Amino acid sequence: MGSLISIASLTSDEACYQQVRVLRWPDGTVCPH
């Protein structure tokens, strides 16, 4: 991964989940079909 994650941004499960979504799907999720 090219992006660095700040530990302060991972203070809750929801914040961690949102950070992973942004890293995994930077342009949002889309159906591949």
CB atoms within 10 A of CB 32: 4
CA–CA separation, 25 and 21 (whole Å): 6
Q: What is the pLDDT of residue 2?
A: 52
Look at the pTM and tell me if it is higher than 0.75.
no
For the cut 60, the answer to whether the pLDDT of residue 12 exceeds it is: yes
CA–CA separation, 32 and 12 (whole Å): 30
Model confidence band, residue 3 (pLDDT cutoffs 50, 70, 90): low
Q: What is the mean pLDDT of residues 17-22?
A: 88
Q: What is the mean pLDDT of residues 2-19?
A: 78
